[in-house]
Amino acid sequence: MLENEEVIEGWVTNAKVVGRIAFLEVMDDLLLKPVTVVVKKDEVEDEVWRAATSIKLGSAVRVEGVKPERVVSRKGREFHARALQVLAEPVDLLPIDPTGKTPASPEAYINYRYLALRLPRYRAIFLARSTLMSLTREYFHSKGFLEVNTPKIVGAGAEGGATLFVVEYFERKAYLSQSPQLYKQMLMCGVPRVFEITPYFRAERFSTVRHLNESWGLDVEIGFVDGLEDVLGVLDDYIRYVTRRVNEELGSILREQGFNLLPPIKKIPRYTYHEVIEILKGLGFNVRVGDDLDTQAEKVLGDYLEKQGVYAYFITDYPWEAKPFYIMKSEGGLSKSFDLDIRGIEVASGGQREHRYVELLSNMREKGLNLEDFAFYLEAFKYGMPPHGGFGLGLDRLLMTLLGLHNIREAVLFPRDRFRLVP
Ligand code: AMO
C-alpha cells in the first residue's frame, strides 16, 4: 500500500459506469450511508477497471485508495480507488434488492436479515437496538444496581403453567424460563438492587404483532422499598433517560430514515385501573370493572392519550385477581401493581411484592399453586427478606414503540413466533 492510502471493506450496493469512470456504492461500516468508490479508467490498472465495470451487486470487496480532499458525491462520502479486490461474489440471485429500490416481502427481510442489514432502514433499527441495550446497562450500573444472570433452564415458572416450554433435563422435566421473577426476588434477601437483561421464553399459542415466543426483557428488583412509589420512580427515570438519549444520539438519522420516533418522555402520568375503565367507558368502549384490559382496550386508550400529547402512562392498582401471586394485595381487592403502556402497548409491568412469608404462602394457595414446586423460592423469605418491588420490561416492545414499528418482528434479528423457528 502506498503512503496515505487507506482500505475500505464492504458490500457493493449499487454500481454504474459513466464514460471512463465507474462509481461503486459500498456499505463499509455501521453507518447508514454507503461510501461512493470512484474508479477512473485512466488511473488504475486494466484489471482493476475490468473488475469495477463487471462487478456483481452484492459482492464483498476490498478497495485500496485515498479519500479525496473534496467530496463531490451527494451521498457525502467518497473514496478514490487504486486497487480493487472482489473477495466474494453472489452465486445466486439476491432475494433482497441491494439498492433498496424494489421492496421485498416482510418475510424476506427476516429470512435474509443479513442482507436487510446492508440497507439503511434495517441497519438503523438494529443500531437503535444496540444503543438501547448499552444505554440500559449504563443507566442501571450508574445507579448502583448489580447486573445478574439467572438460570434459563428452571424447575418452576412464575408466570403461569400454560405458557411454559418443557425441556428434557436428564431424567427430569424442566422448563425454559418465562421470567427471572423468582430468582430476582430471592436475590433481594442478599443484595439491595439487581437488574438483568434476559430472554423470556413463553409458549403463547397466538400469533400477534406484539408477542414473540422468545423475547428480551429488562428485569429490575429493588429492595428496602417504602412502597410502589419507589419502583415507579426508577422506571419513570429510566424511560425519561433512554428516550432522551436515543433522541440525542440517533434522532436525526432515525427521522431521516422515516421512523416515527418517540419524542423524549418528560412526564409519565398515572391512572388507576378504575380511572382507565371510566375513561374507556367515556369513549364508548364496552368494559366493566374486573375486565382485563385487552389489546383493543389498550389501543383505544393509547390513541386517546396520544392525541393529548401523552405517549407513556402508568396504570396502577389492578384487581389482585388479575395479577400473579407475588404481587402484594392492597385494600378493596386491589393490588400494588402497575403496567407501563407506551403508544397503546404494554411495555412493562411490575409492582410491590409480598415479602412476608405467611402472607405469601396464603397468596400462593389462593392462586392454586403447588407449594412444593416453589420450596426453593419460599426458603428465601424465611431469612430477613426486606420489602421489595420491581418490574419486567419488554425490550423488544420498547424498541418497537420507540421507533413506531408496527410489528415486533421488525425489532428482533431472528424472531421466534408460533410458526417460525428458522433462521
Ligand atoms: P409480564 O408477563 O407482564 O411480567 O412481562 C413483562 C413485560 O415483558 C414483555 N413481554 C413480552 N414481549 C413480547 N412477547 C411476549 N410474549 C412477551 N411477554 C412479556 C411485555 C411485558 O410487559 N415477572 C413479571 C414482571 C415483574 O413483575 O417484575 C412479568 O414477567 O413488555
Give the length of the chain: 423
Ligand 1: residue of 215, 314, 337 to mutate (most ligand atoms within 8 A of CB) is 215
DSSP 239-267: HHHHHHHHHHHHHHHHHHTT--PPPPP--
Three-state SS at 293: coil
Q: Is 200 in the pocket of ligand 1 (CB under 6 A)?
A: yes
Of 92, 81, 87, whose CA–CA distance to 115 is shortest? 92
Written as nine digits, the cell of 417 is 413466533
What pLDDT does 218 receive? 99
Q: Is the pLDDT of residue 290 over 90?
A: no
Q: How large is the average pLDDT for residues 367-396?
A: 97
pLDDT digits (tens, 9 = 90+) for 36-75: 999 999 999 999 999 999 999 999 999 999 999 988 878 8
Residue 202's pLDDT band (boundaries 50, 70, 90)? very high
Q: How large is the average pLDDT for residues 83-90?
A: 98
What is the residue with the minimal CA distance to atom 6 of ligand 1?
Answer: 392
What is the residue with the minimal CA distance to atom 28 of ligand 1?
Answer: 391
Question: Cα 48 from chain centroid?
Answer: 43
Strand partners, 37: 24, 79
Distance CA 389, CA 124 (A): 35
Question: Cα 232 from chain centroid?
Answer: 20
Distance CA 282, CA 1 (A): 73
Ligand 1: residue of 397, 409, 417, 418 to mutate (most ligand atoms within 8 A of CB) is 397
Strand partners, 38: 23, 80
Q: Is the pLDDT of residue 293 over 80?
A: yes
Among positive and negative, which fits the CA dihedral 407, 410, 412, 417? positive
Phi, psi of 89 (to 5 degrees): -120, 150
Q: How large is the average pLDDT for residues 393-417?
A: 98
What is the residue with the minimal CA distance to atom 18 of ligand 1?
Answer: 211
Q: Is 215 in the pocket of ligand 1 (CB under 6 A)?
A: yes
113 touches 414 (CB < 8 A): yes
What is the residue with the minimal CA distance to atom 14 of ligand 1?
Answer: 211
Q: Is the pLDDT of residue 301 over 80?
A: yes
Atom in ligand 1 nearest the alpha carbon of residue 327: 27
Radius of gyration of the chain (CA): 26
92 touches 104 (CB < 8 A): no
CA of 339 to the centre of ligand 1 (A): 10
Q: Which residues contact 413 (CB under 8 A, 6 or more apart)?
A: 113, 126
What pLDDT does 364 receive? 97
Residue 87 CB coordination number (10 Å): 10
Distance CA 270, CA 288 (A): 20
| C-alpha to C-alpha distances, 145 to 21, 137, 140, 188, 279, nearest whole angstrom | 57, 10, 5, 12, 37
Q: Is 221 in the pocket of ligand 1 (CB under 6 A)?
A: no
| C-alpha to C-alpha distances, 67 to 36, 38, 74, 203, 243, nearest whole angstrom | 10, 10, 15, 53, 36
Q: Is the pLDDT of residue 156 over 90?
A: no
Average pLDDT in the chain: 96
320 touches 290 (CB < 8 A): no
Q: How large is the average pLDDT for residues 346-359?
A: 98
Distance CA 43, CA 39 (A): 8
344 touches 315 (CB < 8 A): no
Q: Is the pLDDT of residue 5 over 90?
A: no
Strand partners, 21: 18, 40
What pLDDT does 76 receive? 85
What pLDDT does 73 receive? 77
Three-state SS at 157: coil
DSSP 280-349: HHHTT----TT----HHHHHHHHHHHHTTT--EEEEE--BGGGS-TTBPB-GGGBBSEEEEEETTEEEEE
Strand partners, 389: 222, 352
Q: Is 198 in the pocket of ligand 1 (CB under 6 A)?
A: no
Residue 402 CB coordination number (10 Å): 27
Distance CA 105, CA 82 (A): 38
pLDDT digits (tens, 9 = 90+) for 13-22: 999 999 999 9
State the angle between helix axes of 295-306 and 273-282 in degrees (0 to 180), rounded to the nearest 10: 80
Provide, rounded to the nearest whole percent, the portion of the chain with pLDDT above 90.
Answer: 93
Of 259, 267, 269, whose CA–CA distance to 406 is shortest? 259
Distance CA 374, CA 389 (A): 19
